Amino acid sequence: MDKFRMIFQFLQSNQESFMNGICGIMALASAQMYSAFDFNCPCLPRYNLVYGLGILLVPPFILFLLGFVLNNNISMLAEEWRRPQGQRGKDRAVLRYMFCSMAQRAMIAPVVWVSVTLLDGKCITCAFCTSVPVEILGNTSHPSLSQGEMKQVLARIPCKEIYDGQELIANEVAIRYLRCISQALGWCFVLLMTTLAFLVRALRPCFTQAAFLKSRYWSHYIDIERKLFDETCAEHARSFAKVCIQQFFEGMSTDLAAARCHPPRKAPADAGEATEKLLGITDQGTMNMALKSWHRCKPPLHLHPPALPSGNGWAGEGQPPVHPPLPRRETAAYYSRV
């Protein structure tokens, strides 16, 4: 049990590195999932576009949501956003910083999926095979077909075994044309995402350094405050359970001693220490009220007590100056001179 606790504490202390590792694993898993995925284009005019774009866009959306689900800070963000105002205001800039930090990590796996999909070219070939320019790439001397028949023939381009339009346009020519466009879009997408990541990670702090530092500091504070509150609650619950169990067995021991005429055993030495850790909260109702008060009205972020006002409104004005006490040696020398 202690080993699992040590591992859990290590993961909590290195949560950012752990989340970066999880995002990297998800990115590699998304690429591996696509390579293991059996892509089967329906080769029907009405379903090719839906199937191709669905494979291109739906899995990235699922991976994006999984990136938020696996991030422990999403619950902290929701609690901070939905909590009452109380004595502590809510800074929207901090909430935006927290959300953007989580979104950046959650977007890694979807970006990898979309990039691999576009560079492979199967989805674009299936989705837009009916839009191949036959008048440019095909046989212009082929007898004219109706619009529906033309789409029916072009929809079978991704399926070589059932394609029967070689006289209209060669299957290899159409596939190469669509794959070339898909790979161009893929590299443009990679370049765009890399540029955006550079701008967000490198240039944004340069223009808003003060706001960036403030948002990062208070986001760290919210995270650490929540962890310390959970640790304090866990320690209090452990002490509460320990005292409750000790009181139960002390009562049983007293009853048995009264029945058998034996002196009751003394309470263990650590019972007083456990009672001190309860901090005066010794019943369920008081604990529930304390937890509800923490949620509704968190303490203000002001560690120093306010100055007491004097008669003219300022503490210390009109009062005689108070000199600091002299050290012992100087005090003894003073009284010897007197």
DSSP line for 264-331: PPPPPTTHHHHHHTTTT--SHHHHHHHHHHHHHSPPPS--SPPPPP-TTSSTTTTSPP-PPPPPHHHH
Residue with tokens 């346009």: 169
User: At what angle are helices 92-106 and 48-69 packed, to 10 degrees?
Assistant: 120
271 vs 317, residue with greater confidence: 271
Tokens of 310: 């004097």
**Is the predicted pLDDT of residue 335 greater than 70, yes or no?**
no
pTM here is: 0.68
Q: Report the C-alpha gap between 191 and 66 in whole angstroms.
A: 25
Which tens digits make up the pLDDT trace of 116-131? 999 999 999 999 998 8
Give the type of residue at 261.
C
How far, CA to CA in Å, does 129 sit from each of 47, 52, 58, 144? Answer: 11, 10, 20, 19
Tokens of 62: 């699922």
Which tens digits make up the pLDDT trace of 270-301? 556 667 767 777 788 888 888 888 777 777 77
